[in-house]
Structure 1
Amino acid sequence: MAHGVGEDAIDPFRDPSMAGNTPNTPRADVPATLAVGRNASLTLGTDALIVLDELLESKGAGCCGMSLGGGNNKTTRSIPFYNVLWAETADDGEVIIHYAHAVSKQVVRRQIISYKLEKPDSDLAAAWVERLLEKAYGASQRQKRIKVLINPFGGQGKATQMYHKHIAPILAAARCELDVESTTHNGHGVEIAQNLDIEKFDVVACCSGDGIPHEVWNGFGKREDAQRALVKIAVAQLPCGSGNALCLNHTGTDSPSLAALAVVKGLRTPLGLASVTQGDRRLLSFLSQSAGIVAETDLATEHLRWMGSARFTYGFLVRLLKKTVYPADIAIKVEHGNKEAVRAAYRAEAAKPPRTQDERTLPAPGEPCAIPPLKYGTINDPLPDGWELVPHDQLGNFYAGNLAYMSSDANFFPAALPDDGCLDLVRIKGTLPRTKSIATLLAIEQHKFFDLPHVDYQKISAYRIIPKNQKEGYISVDGERIPFEPFQVEIHKGMGTVLSKNGHLFEAKGV
């Protein structure tokens, strides 16, 4: 399934790392207000398109029979530039604007308004439309070429329906070029990414939970041109699964239609990816690695999926009450070793302006650029110089996160940054009094977790963990279970690419 682009579209095969969106130089004399019809005008405001139509009140529902929302004056409506999907002119002098109309806090739907110029001037209309698109898209690439992967088993089997009802209309209205494919088996995302013609696409958008993005990045990592694929192709999530952390962190929502709008308007953003080595295997991780109570809570409650997100709370409380410990020896490469330093690093990045372009070097097509070698070796190599294995006999939780949100109500790593070359690490003893343990769980949702004195929070670039005194247990990488064996992890700054709202921060409350 594909949607083409019009003759006036920006070349969809341009390198998405190149800055600039404007196909033609707009006229310098373009006015902010365009007179349309006898009693109407369209004005480019500061943050929104202002529609003034004296007939709106008599029409009742709004312009062209559709409510535009916003504003107290019934003859004036505003459409935020962020919600403008596309604009164009017709041969008869008509100006047509497609936008995402908010029908609730969680749902937007495609709407159209159209007007004919009071005085036909095709050049003026085209220049005005171009200026509108400049305000609507800013530094974001227009008409993105998107490979859409639908996991038909996601969202309790409703992912395909969710895509066609909530997502596809938004992407199509924005004149995105779409190639849609459904995954059929476990690991299919790896195969698709490994064999994808990356010169034909700018984005891989996963209508799924977090599992398909994990597969896509690992598929890219297996390619001979892995580094080009990982930089060139942004991986996005359109939330259709039970775990939607990638979407939550970069768009601030788990609404399919709002996420589709965020992909349309998303800015290319570098994302550090982590290599996880275990045995003779090397995986790429974008989300988290955990051993201890979080891993067991996630993986040992699969049979309770019918409970929804409540299964995590239930599983967590059961293990807290038992005061379960998970002994391990741990070695860490620390970058910011205390909360004061972690907070300073976060605030320094947060003070920067939004990103306007991708400044990384993109390897040339055909250039051999496999995934980079490991700086610290694998779990099978001797311990790197300067590392020391420290016994953690009372360990309750070892949780390394690459994103902030782990779920919609769990901003577990509020100091996390997309591309600071660090993982955020949390360690908590398993011997806490039960009342303090329960208070710790509640503190996550209350955004007080970071400041708890018994929460050890650091920024690290690599680590090795060796479970001990247990024959069986749970280790989770991006929510997927791996063998209960020693493993080693290191982060690669700027290896992957996502789409985000501001280009350098997660959509989570920071520290």
Structure 2
Amino acid sequence: MADSQQSKDVMNVVEGEYSDSKEHVYLQETFYILSKKNSVFRVRLTSKGLSLAKETDGNCKEQTILLRDIVGSKCMRSKRRRPGAGSCVCSSLVGPHQLKVVDENSGDLDENDISAYLYVYAYILKRSRRTLKRERTTITLRFRSYDKYDDNNREAQKWRATLKCLIAGQPITYSPPVNDKKLLILLNPKSGPGKAREQFQTKVAPILQEAEVPYDLHVTKYAQYAREFVRTRNVYAWRGVVAVGGDGVLFEVLNGMFERLDWQQAFEEVPLAIMPCGSGNGLARSICHLYNEPYIPQNLTGLTMALARGKSTHMDVVRVETKTKIMFSFLSVGWGLLSDIDIESERLRAMGGQRFAVWAVARILGLRKYKGVVSYLKIKDISNLPKPKQPLTLSHSVSQDGALDSPDAEAFIDCDEHSEVFSNARSGRHQRVDSWYSVNSRRSAFFSTRGSEYHSVTSENSEMRSPVHVCMHGPASHLPSLMSQLPSNWVHEQGEFIMVHVSYQSYIGEDFLFAPRSQLCDGVMWMLIIKAGVSRSQLLSFLVNAGQASHVEMNSEYIKMVPVSAFRIVPEGPDGILTVDGELVEYGPIQAEIFPNIVKLLVPDNK
């Protein structure tokens, strides 16, 4: 049981007794622990976070819950703690011996309890053996300095409003900031092992509720659903677009945005985000790596906090051109061994990420060689790159049916789900399930935030209207056409290759550190070339040690890593696999160039 004594509220910024010269105190209060004689908590809300100082018999122990680890707060009339929730304010200081800050005799909605309770939800970074993880903690503060509930509630609401302003980075007011815009969640239930629904419901939705972030959830139900959705809807109605699934879902979202005439404005005003529920999850792993956020498979805490906090940064995109298509990529382009493993292991999808390791063994035993020409524009000094500039406006583009064209008027027809599925099936081309159709499913009951909506795949209002003729817009290309001669300053390598893989993220999979020096926005693509003649033992070492990026130091006659700003691959022969962001594309000549500062991406607040 605890009591509180009102101390001086500091609504104007003042220096606190325990604060350093850069820390400002906004509110402070003393809380008495009646079960412990001569024990009090002096709680201060500062520019750094929530400071908890326990004073017992003249001894003081202090801990600060950092502002960046706090997702939200809530005021309630009486004690209401969720099962499995973190402990009270004391537990952060005294470990396993949890003291009671709330009255044991105070039940839910107890009219005789005039106290107001402030619950602060935080996910604190803690070290567990050799790894970092986030631990959920609920800080409970009970206000009952006054003899009326309304007065106590007013004090609790003052703390809540101030905390929300600090989290949002807005001026301190008595009214908490309100953002009526929802997040748009596009979820592919077939991504990876098919547990995206469950992971969203259990890992993401509860944190969004604590942060009071509303959302609209749409479950994909056929090929290119996410792509059509962002192309045809008013995306400005949402505060961000979140792809829940594998990298293929974000690939659809990215290219759907580039099919809008207003693509520049859309990317600047509507940030994108990824919730990794697929097999590869390269971008999500890269974000966590760059922002010092623990990445634990099936644990989406840190990336969900990024959705709640709303911090964004720019990301490069790569314009990729084949003989009949233009597309935009955020992760990688591959030819040979890694692409073979990625695509051919689809039959083992139920294994999740382990399917890659199993199929890698099969491909090394039955090693393939590919003839062709690899050309690239090498970056000579990556330590002295010019600051990335905003791209030029659009030039030529490509329509969905493969014909190079310019933007023209879009006619719309009703999109029929079944005809889309069957037409793709008849084409005979292999499609990735991560970005392929997601089958109709029964309605699910989702735990969602107040004001959030779940749109069932069978909802009558979920049908979209799809343009007959879709144009790909985007930044103007600086390269010659695909079949034209390249400039003289390009490097050309001809012969037999085991693989050529180009990535612009640090990770291309959860456990595959491909380019340690890569940043989200640096204007660099990293090209790994492995030529025929390399031994199987070297290849096995390359794959086994992928998590340590040992290949970066393996520059030799057969293996080398090159920083490039553009490249072209021209395979010989009709058979082989080419992938863009893990998606199968037509086999043949392909070229790409990087454009910095195109997309805004929601990222953690830990850097």
Deviations 1:407-454 (A, max 9, x none): 121111111111112211111223112222222223322343311223
Aligned-partner Cα distance in 2 for 1:265–1:31: 20
The equivalent of 1:258 in structure 2 is 302
Aligned-partner Cα distance in 2 for 1:108–1:216: 32
The equivalent of 1:28 in structure 2 is 13
Indicate yes or no: 2:578 matched with 1:497: no
Aligned-partner Cα distance in 2 for 1:98–1:146: 22
Deviation at 1:180, TM superposition (A): 1.3
The correspondence for 1:433, drawn from 535, 549, 557, is 535
Deviation at 1:123, TM superposition (A): 8.2
Retained in 1: the 8 A contact 2:118–2:160?
no
- The AA in structure 1 aligned to 2:240 is V
Aligned-partner Cα distance in 2 for 1:463–1:300: 25
Retained in 1: the 8 A contact 2:26–2:46?
no
Aligned-partner Cα distance in 1 for 2:220–2:42: 47
Deviations 1:73-120 (A, max 9, x none): 9x9765342221123667988462431446996675584624216476
Deviation at 1:219, TM superposition (A): 0.4
The equivalent of 1:87 in structure 2 is 73
Q: 1:86 to 1:266 in 2, by over 3 A?
A: same
Deviation at 1:371, TM superposition (A): 1.9
Which secondary structure does the structure 2 equivalent of 1:394 belong to?
strand
Q: 1:150 to 1:323 in 2, by over 3 A?
A: closer
Aligned-partner Cα distance in 2 for 1:459–1:117: 63
Retained in 1: the 8 A contact 2:391–2:598?
no
Deviation at 1:491, TM superposition (A): 1.1
Indicate yes or no: 2:120 matched with 1:98: yes
The correspondence for 1:418, drawn from 516, 520, 526, is 520
Aligned-partner Cα distance in 1 for 2:327–2:208: 31
Which secondary structure does the structure 1 equivalent of 2:550 belong to?
coil
The equivalent of 2:507 in structure 1 is 405
Deviation at 1:41, TM superposition (A): 3.5
Which secondary structure does the structure 1 equivalent of 2:521 belong to?
coil
Which secondary structure does the structure 2 equivalent of 1:457 belong to?
strand
Retained in 1: the 8 A contact 2:577–2:584?
yes
Aligned-partner Cα distance in 2 for 1:181–1:188: 10
Aligned-partner Cα distance in 1 for 2:534–2:46: 56
Indicate yes or no: 2:235 matched with 1:240: no
Which secondary structure does the structure 1 equivalent of 2:320 belong to?
strand
Q: 1:304 to 1:361 in 2, by over 3 A?
A: closer
The correspondence for 1:474, drawn from 577, 592, 599, is 577
Aligned-partner Cα distance in 2 for 1:110–1:185: 40
Higher deviation after alignment, 31-40 or 424-433: 31-40
Aligned-partner Cα distance in 2 for 1:392–1:98: 61
Q: Which runs of 5+ in 2 are unaligned?
A: 1-9, 15-24, 34-39, 78-113, 171-176, 394-408, 410-471
Which secondary structure does the structure 2 equivalent of 1:213 belong to?
helix
The equivalent of 2:565 in structure 1 is 461
Which secondary structure does the structure 2 equivalent of 1:156 belong to?
coil
Retained in 1: the 8 A contact 2:306–2:604?
yes
Q: 1:388 to 1:101 in 2, by over 3 A?
A: closer
Which secondary structure does the structure 1 equivalent of 2:517 belong to?
coil
The correspondence for 1:320, drawn from 357, 364, 384, is 364
- The AA in structure 1 aligned to 2:140 is I
Structure 1 length normalisation: TM-score? 0.75
Deviations 1:239-292 (A, max 9, x none): 222222222111342422332123223521111111111123111111100001
Structure 2 length normalisation: TM-score? 0.64
Deviations 1:157-176 (A, max 9, x none): 32112212111111121121
The equivalent of 2:258 in structure 1 is 221
Structural RMSD (CA): 3.8
Which secondary structure does the structure 1 equivalent of 2:206 belong to?
helix
Indicate yes or no: 2:131 matched with 1:146: no
Aligned-partner Cα distance in 2 for 1:490–1:395: 22
Q: 1:131 to 1:330 in 2, by over 3 A?
A: same
Retained in 2: the 8 A contact 1:230–1:495?
yes
Aligned-partner Cα distance in 1 for 2:301–2:178: 18
Aligned-partner Cα distance in 1 for 2:511–2:360: 14
Which secondary structure does the structure 1 equivalent of 2:545 belong to?
helix
The correspondence for 2:318, drawn from 262, 270, 274, is 274
Deviations 1:163-198 (A, max 9, x none): 121111111211213111111112001011102312
Aligned-partner Cα distance in 1 for 2:546–2:310: 28
Aligned-partner Cα distance in 2 for 1:386–1:117: 78
- The AA in structure 2 aligned to 1:412 is F
Which secondary structure does the structure 2 equivalent of 1:414 belong to?
coil
Deviations 1:350-371 (A, max 9, x none): xxxxxxxx997999xxxx9952
Aligned-partner Cα distance in 1 for 2:373–2:577: 16
The equivalent of 2:106 in structure 1 is none
Aligned-partner Cα distance in 1 for 2:178–2:568: 43
Indicate yes or no: 2:218 matched with 1:116: no
- The AA in structure 1 aligned to 2:581 is D
Aligned-partner Cα distance in 2 for 1:260–1:462: 34
- Structure label with greater radius of gyration: 2
Aligned-partner Cα distance in 2 for 1:496–1:31: 36
Within 5 A, what are the aligned runs for 1:285-304?
Answer: 285-304=329-348
Q: 1:345 to 1:182 in 2, by over 3 A?
A: farther
Deviations 1:38-64 (A, max 9, x none): 744322468552345789xxxxxxxxx
Indicate yes or no: 2:476 matched with 1:373: yes
Retained in 1: the 8 A contact 2:273–2:602?
yes
The equivalent of 1:172 in structure 2 is 209
Aligned-partner Cα distance in 1 for 2:67–2:605: 15
Deviation at 1:36, TM superposition (A): 4.3
Aligned-partner Cα distance in 2 for 1:138–1:484: 49
Aligned-partner Cα distance in 2 for 1:49–1:362: 45
Identity percentage over the alignment? 22
Which secondary structure does the structure 1 equivalent of 2:68 belong to?
helix
Higher deviation after alignment, 477-486 or 447-456: 447-456
Aligned-partner Cα distance in 2 for 1:115–1:386: 73
Q: What is the total number of aligned residue pairs between the two structures?
A: 442
Q: 1:404 to 1:46 in 2, by over 3 A?
A: same
Aligned-partner Cα distance in 1 for 2:378–2:122: 45
The equivalent of 2:51 in structure 1 is 50
Aligned-partner Cα distance in 1 for 2:313–2:550: 28
Q: 1:28 to 1:240 in 2, by over 3 A?
A: same
Aligned-partner Cα distance in 1 for 2:275–2:480: 35
Q: 1:465 to 1:31 in 2, by over 3 A?
A: closer
Retained in 1: the 8 A contact 2:499–2:531?
yes
The equivalent of 2:17 in structure 1 is none
- The AA in structure 2 aligned to 1:497 is K
Q: 1:359 to 1:477 in 2, by over 3 A?
A: closer
Q: 1:109 to 1:200 in 2, by over 3 A?
A: farther
Retained in 2: the 8 A contact 1:237–1:247?
yes
Aligned-partner Cα distance in 2 for 1:446–1:361: 34
Deviation at 1:388, TM superposition (A): 4.6
Indicate yes or no: 2:351 matched with 1:330: no
Which secondary structure does the structure 1 equivalent of 2:229 belong to?
helix
The equivalent of 1:59 in structure 2 is none
Deviations 1:472-506 (A, max 9, x none): 11001011111111111111111112122369x8x
Aligned-partner Cα distance in 2 for 1:219–1:31: 45
